[in-house]
């Protein structure tokens, strides 16, 4: 959900709910969506450009349900969602009942409720509860923020029993004004890694290419590099995802046209060895698409291209807030803080889904586990047989 500081008391005009089921209906409201998104300080993953690229590349995972709230003819709240039916297991051809879930792409991002006022947020959450099927709602990655208590309370008032846990952290770096002062706040080991990496890159005659135009050539170079990344083997890289190329091309076309993107490729001679993309949404930069060639892992190309990209963004002269994405061991070297995203499941009391979740609670009590069942993501160490190489 958006920053609580943006929620103000709304005027007492009537709030109207509209549920959009086709992307072309959403596209017709592009101006309204952009205005609402800016007023409520939404993040990149709920911006119109991101959703348009997501639709172009991946499409909705199920039946689209974009829940919007209008007041006096203006959009004041929205929740990009869809109805999906998931399998119980990858091994068994059985499916769970349909649930209402956040519309997210297969690569990155988290879900958030967008609202410009408390009244609009209450109306939005009420509409979400009414639109939910009998199996309820499931938010795989739900941003924990200052208004999280209000959101969960409204969902409970809407008749949903909630199960939730903190799934993962997301790394951020805030109030970055110049590279040297930022570097001095990093650990001694990190500063040593930077010096060693710089020396190794000089010896390898590596160079950094930075692109900010709408040229499609660097996008194609990034996709070719992705095919040599460990993420290709895990099926999580852009080139491995069905529609990943179309998603990246459309996102870059839109953001580069607005001057909100910086695509970085690190190459040794004529060979691209690492890629990174930094895009800006309002006052925040987001780090995306970090991949590298495993053949050059001894140069630590992933870390190198990231800190050089961050250095370039900081060098623009404005205070920088940077979100790196899912918190990992090597991103901890860059972060100055972090926030939590959680998984949330809401079902109506007494239904089949309710009793199945109750049964899961009882089984977890016997095994000593806490929270919802884990959705473990593949790590690089799991993919590489020998576990060697560095990020």
pLDDT in tens, 137-150: 988 777 765 556 78
Q: CA-CA distance, 85 to 118, in Å (whole number)?
A: 31
Exposed, middle or buried by CB within 10 Å (0-12, 13-18, 19+), for 274?
buried
Retrieve residue 66's tokens. Answer: 């974009």
Name the pairing type of β-strands 284-292 and 320-326: parallel
The answer to whether residues 256 and 210 touch, using CB atoms and an 8 Å cutoff, is: no
Q: How confident is the model at residue 90 (pLDDT cuts 50, 70, 90)?
A: low
Q: CA-CA distance, 79 to 102, in Å (whole number)?
A: 8
Q: What are the residues whose beta carbons fall under 8 Å from the beta carbon of 218, sequence distance 6 or more?
A: 209, 211, 263, 265
Q: What is the mean pLDDT of the segment spanning 34-57?
A: 93
CATH number of 178-318: 3.40.630.30
Q: What is the mean pLDDT of the segment spanning 349-369?
A: 73
pLDDT at 120 over 90: yes
pTM of the model: 0.86
The answer to whether residues 231 and 222 touch, using CB atoms and an 8 Å cutoff, is: no
**Which has more confidence, 330 or 261?**
261
Q: In the chain, which residues fall in CATH 3.40.630.30?
A: 178-318
The answer to whether residues 176 and 278 touch, using CB atoms and an 8 Å cutoff, is: no
Q: How many CB atoms lie within 10 A of CB 363?
A: 11
pLDDT at 379 over 80: no
pLDDT at 356 over 90: no
- Residue 377: the pLDDT is 53
* Domain 4-169+340-374, architecture per CATH: 3-Layer(aba) Sandwich (3.40)
The answer to whether residues 17 and 127 touch, using CB atoms and an 8 Å cutoff, is: yes
Q: What is the mean pLDDT of the segment spanning 20-44?
A: 94
The answer to whether residues 61 and 75 touch, using CB atoms and an 8 Å cutoff, is: no
- Which of 210-213's residues contact partners 24+ apart within 8 Å by CB, and which partners? 210/262, 210/263, 210/264, 210/312, 211/262, 211/263, 211/264, 211/265, 212/256, 212/259, 212/261, 212/262, 212/263, 213/256
Q: How confident is the model at residue 389 (pLDDT cuts 50, 70, 90)?
A: very low
- Residue 28: the pLDDT is 96
**Which has more confidence, 213 or 33?**
33
For 253-305, the pLDDT digits (tens) are: 999 998 898 899 999 888 899 999 999 998 899 998 888 888 888 888 888 88
Q: CA-CA distance, 360 to 349, in Å (whole number)?
A: 15
Q: How confident is the model at residue 390 (pLDDT cuts 50, 70, 90)?
A: very low
- Residue 34: the pLDDT is 96
Mean pLDDT of the chain: 83
Q: How confident is the model at residue 314 (pLDDT cuts 50, 70, 90)?
A: confident
- Residue 131: the pLDDT is 93
- Residue 27: the pLDDT is 95
For 333, phi then psi, to 5°, come to -65, -25
Q: CA-CA distance, 1 to 7, in Å (whole number)?
A: 11
Retrieve residue 167's tokens. Answer: 């799934």
Q: CA-CA distance, 33 to 272, in Å (whole number)?
A: 37
- Residue 308: the pLDDT is 86
- Count the residues in the chain: 391
């Amino acid at each position: 959900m958006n920053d609580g500081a943006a929620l103000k008391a709304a005027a007492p005009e009537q709030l109207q709910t509209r549920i959009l089921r086709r992307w072309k209906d959403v596209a017709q409201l592009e101006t309204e969506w952009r205005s609402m998104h800016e007023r409520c300080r939404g993040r990149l993953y709920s911006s119109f450009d991101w959703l348009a690229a997501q639709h172009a590349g991946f499409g909705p995972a199920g039946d689209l349900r974009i829940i919007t709230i209008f007041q006096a003819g203006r959009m004041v709240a929205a929740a990009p969602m869809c109805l999906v039916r998931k399998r119980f297991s990858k091994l068994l051809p059985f499916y769970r009942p349909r649930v209402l879930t956040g519309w997210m792409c297969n690569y990155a991002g988290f879900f958030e409720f967008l609202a410009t006022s408390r009244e609009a947020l209450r109306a939005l959450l009420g509409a979400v509860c009414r639109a939910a099927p009998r199996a309820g709602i499931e938010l795989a990655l739900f941003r924990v923020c200052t208004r999280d208590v209000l959101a969960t309370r409204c969902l409970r008032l809407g008749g949903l029993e909630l199960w939730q846990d903190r799934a993962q952290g997301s790394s951020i770096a805030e109030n970055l004004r110049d590279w040297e002062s930022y570097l001095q706040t990093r650990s001694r080991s990190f500063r040593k890694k930077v010096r060693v990496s710089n020396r190794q890159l000089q010896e390898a005659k590596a160079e950094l290419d930075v692109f900010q135009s709408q040229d499609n050539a660097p996008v194609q170079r990034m996709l070719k590099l992705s095919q040599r990344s460990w993420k290709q083997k895990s099926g999580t890289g852009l080139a491995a995802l069905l529609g990943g190329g179309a998603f990246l091309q459309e996102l870059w076309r839109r953001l580069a046209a607005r001057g909100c993107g910086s695509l970085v490729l690190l190459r040794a001679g004529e060979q691209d060895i690492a890629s990174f993309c930094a895009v800006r949404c309002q006052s925040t930069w987001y780090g995306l698409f970090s991949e590298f060639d495993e053949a050059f892992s001894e140069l630590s190309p992933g870390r190198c291209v990231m800190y050089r990209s961050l250095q370039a963004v900081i060098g623009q002269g404005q205070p920088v807030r940077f979100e790196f994405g899912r918190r990992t061991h090597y991103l901890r070297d860059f972060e100055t803080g972090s926030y939590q995203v959680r998984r949330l499941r809401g079902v109506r009391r007494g239904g089949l889904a309710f009793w199945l979740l109750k049964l899961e609670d009882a089984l977890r009590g016997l095994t000593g586990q806490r929270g919802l069942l884990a959705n473990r993501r593949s790590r690089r160490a799991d993919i590489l047989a020998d576990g060697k190489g560095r990020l």
